[in-house]
Amino acid sequence: MIRDQLPLARPSHRHRMVSAAKRFIQASQAIGKISFTIAELCKDTGLSVIAARDQLKRLGEQVVRVSPRQDFFLIVSPEQFAMGAPPASWWLHAYFHQQKSPYYLALLSAAAEYESSHQAVQVVQVITDKPRREISVGRIRIQFFVKKNITTAQQTRLPNAFAPLNVSTPETTALDLLRYAHRIGGLGRATQAIQGMLSKFTKAGLRIALDNEKEDSTVQRLGYVLETLEQHKFYPLVDRRLPREVKRIPLELHKQDEPTQTIPFSNRWSVFINADITELS
């Protein structure tokens, strides 16, 4: 009886500190927060940087670091252990916000969000303002592309998303697909993705995307693609965007050069048609 009347022993300060990182992770998950920095962990728990890193290592697959060179960690729930990380769309915005860099989900990844999924996308494709190495987090790969005028590119937010995520509009996505076609599987794959997004195009959206596009050659290629896909309500807008005289360009930029005399030529777009997109799309 005397033993039952003894007050319960309170956990010592040292005991509380030992599990501080674990409690921090649990508290973050409870409010839907899946990313953090060492600085945030130390400020919240009072741990030193060395102690915080040591405790995170003990948590094993519950926590993953995005890059050895960056102070950005992800919380992995049990159902995500197989992938080794939460979906990229859940944390990309926080990642770039922490780095104070502009970005948007782009190219085939953006096209997939607009229900254009001719081919499976094996990597997450993101456009930002400076060169970055590809990131692999668990089984997730992030591939980066650079665009100087990224801040003027038309972007949107997906409704009902788990977290904020900047995504290029369908019309901007189409221009980007043609600009980087040589890095995403060729002009045929870019055309497939554009074709799958056409139901999402609007005239107003296309005008804005064209006004923000600085490369006439990309606009020329888009005009040819839209005309070939018989998009009569859209390609005249592209035609009006181009200056009266433009350079003659190849449709497939990185295809091996051939004598121009043997290649069909589009007078409307000043494009040498060195690829047959009707077969590929």
Q: What is the mean pLDDT of each run of 10 residues along the chain (281 residues)?
A: 45 60 95 96 95 95 93 96 95 95 96 79 92 94 94 90 94 97 91 95 97 95 96 95 94 70 89 81 47
| Residue 241 parent element (H or E) | helix 235-241
Q: Quote the tokens at residue 144.
A: 């980066």
Closest CA to 123 of 104, 133, 136, 132: 136
By the 10 Å C-beta count (0-12 exposed, 13-18 middle, 19+ buried), 178 is classed as buried
Residue length of the chain: 281
| SS3 state of residue 75 | strand
| SS3 state of residue 64 | strand
Q: Phi and psi (nearest 5°) for 180?
A: -105, 25
- What pLDDT is recorded for position 8? 44
Going along the chain from its start, the domains and CATH numbers come out as: 11-86 (1.10.10.10), 87-280 (3.30.460)
Euclidean distance between CA atoms 12 and 32, whole angstroms: 29
| SS3 state of residue 10 | coil
- pTM (two decimals): 0.88
Q: With contact defined as beta carbons under 8 Å apart, do 236 and 219 qualify?
A: no
Query: Which residues, 6+ apart, have CB-to-CB distance to 16 below 8 Å?
Result: none
Give how far Cα 104 sits from Cα of 9, 34, 153, 155, 209, Å: 53, 20, 9, 7, 15
- What pLDDT is recorded for position 277? 85
Euclidean distance between CA atoms 182 and 188, whole angstroms: 10
Helices (H), 8-106: 13-18, 20-30, 38-45, 49-58, 92-99
| Residue 227 parent element (H or E) | helix 216-228
Euclidean distance between CA atoms 241 and 243, whole angstroms: 7
